[in-house]
Structure 1
Amino acid sequence: MKNKIPNKIHIIGSVGSGKTTLARELSSMLNVPFYELDNVVWKRHEGHEDIRRTEKEREEYLNTLISSNTWIVEGVHNEEWVSNSFLNAELIIFLDINYSVRTYRIIRRFLLQKLRLEKSNYNPTLKIFFKMFKWNRYFEEVGKPNFFKKFGDYDDKLLVVTNKKELENYFT
């Protein structure tokens, strides 16, 4: 049986899990806009340092985005300010990609960004590079258990994905 194609999708996963890539692909396939939660947290200023939004600003901004009829939101965040996105999503995709695969992707992404073969919303410094490993470990040990503790009761709309084939099976 074919699944109903959702209009509101929240994608969550660790650094290097493929959230942005998946959001881009689904956005193109479904003709639905996608939003990166990092760009909700930060006001981006090309050529200048980014400015962190206040908790109230980012919650209001996110609520504005998810008030539309169609959207894809992606990010690592599962704090209280994103709870409306999980609540309003028709599908929550949890990318539970193998830790070593994510580690490899972090290294690959950094090299591609440094070689200017891949665009980034931030300056790919060594400091950020090493933070990504820290964030990856933190998500595995804290973020993932917290997500299932807080939002595990959405199991009727939760799709836990460990590989691309599981996604393909859902959308075909």
Structure 2
Amino acid sequence: MRRILVVGCCGAGKTTLSRELGEILRIPVYHLDRYFWKPGWVEDSRENFDAALAKLLQEDAWIMDGNYGRTFPERLKYADTVIFLKYPRCLCLRRVLKRYLDYRGRTRPDLTEGCLERLNFEFLRYIWTYNRKMLPRMERYLKEAGKGCRLYVFDRPEGTEAFLRCLKQK
């Protein structure tokens, strides 16, 4: 496990899991939101994002957290492990609401400075429809990944926590 993708719906816990994996495995963690968003929630250009991503992919070891479906097939080519947090949408929504209350008016540590925590209808709708709209596409990509990539799918936090406990014991 040297090149790990952590994917799943917003609020599933990708960032928290990535940070914990980074500490256990001593591998650098890259939050793709930091490369996609400029201050004030302004999208960086596709060229800049793709160039930054290409540079990260060349590193010997990394943990990348974030979906960004357009670039997922490319990232998958370089990954040796994918961890997919396939949690219920109600759990994801609850976590996003908690995160909003915890960080309202401030920038989360995993985001570009100047991207103040926000919550809007479009974001909530994305979470609500993730399993119907995004999940089939993600599963199709993962099926195509083949045998060269280890896949861990967790549908409950308890499975993820057990996985982390096993890693800590090694």
Normalised by the shorter chain, which TM-score bucket? 0.7 to 0.9
Pick from 147, 151, 154 the counterpart of residue 161 of structure 1.
154
Q: Tell me if structure 1 keeps the 8 A contact 2:15–2:110.
A: no
1:7 corresponds in structure 2 to 2
1:57 alignment partner, SS class: helix
2:14 corresponds in structure 1 to 19
Q: Summarize the Cα distance change of 1:148–1:139 in structure 2 as closer, same or farther, 3 Å threshold.
A: same
Deviations 1:59-113 (A, max 9, x none): 111110111111000112222x232211111101110011111111111111111
- Structure-1-length-normalised TM-score: 0.82
2:11 alignment partner, SS class: coil
Pick from 84, 90, 93 the counterpart of residue 103 of structure 1.
93
Runs of 4+ with >6 A deviation:
none
- Range moving further from structure 2, 68-77 or 154-163: 154-163
Task: Give me the whole-angstrom Cα distance separating, in 2, the residues matched to 1:149 and 1:35.
Answer: 24
Task: Give me the whole-angstrom Cα distance separating, in 2, the residues matched to 1:168 and 1:72.
Answer: 17
Q: Tell me if structure 2 keeps the 8 A contact 1:114–1:124.
A: yes
Q: How many residues of Structure 1 are paired with residues of Structure 2 in the alignment? A: 160
2:30 alignment partner, SS class: strand
2:102 corresponds in structure 1 to 112
1:16 alignment partner, SS class: coil
Q: How far is the alpha carbon of 1:52 from its aligned partner?
A: 1.9
1:123 alignment partner, SS class: coil
Structure 1 residue runs of 5 or longer lacking an equivalent are: 1-5
Q: Tell me if structure 2 keeps the 8 A contact 1:7–1:71.
A: yes
Structure 2 residue runs of 5 or longer lacking an equivalent are: none
2:72 alignment partner, SS class: helix
Task: Give me the whole-angstrom Cα distance separating, in 2, the residues matched to 1:151 and 1:64.
Answer: 23
- Structure-2-length-normalised TM-score: 0.82
Task: Give me the whole-angstrom Cα distance separating, in 2, the residues matched to 1:25 and 1:9.
Answer: 13
Q: Within the alignment, does 1:139 sit opposite 2:130 as a pair?
A: yes
Q: Within the alignment, does 1:52 sit opposite 2:36 as a pair?
A: no
Q: Summarize the Cα distance change of 1:39–1:137 in structure 2 as closer, same or farther, 3 Å threshold.
A: same
Q: How far is the alpha carbon of 1:160 from its aligned partner?
A: 1.0
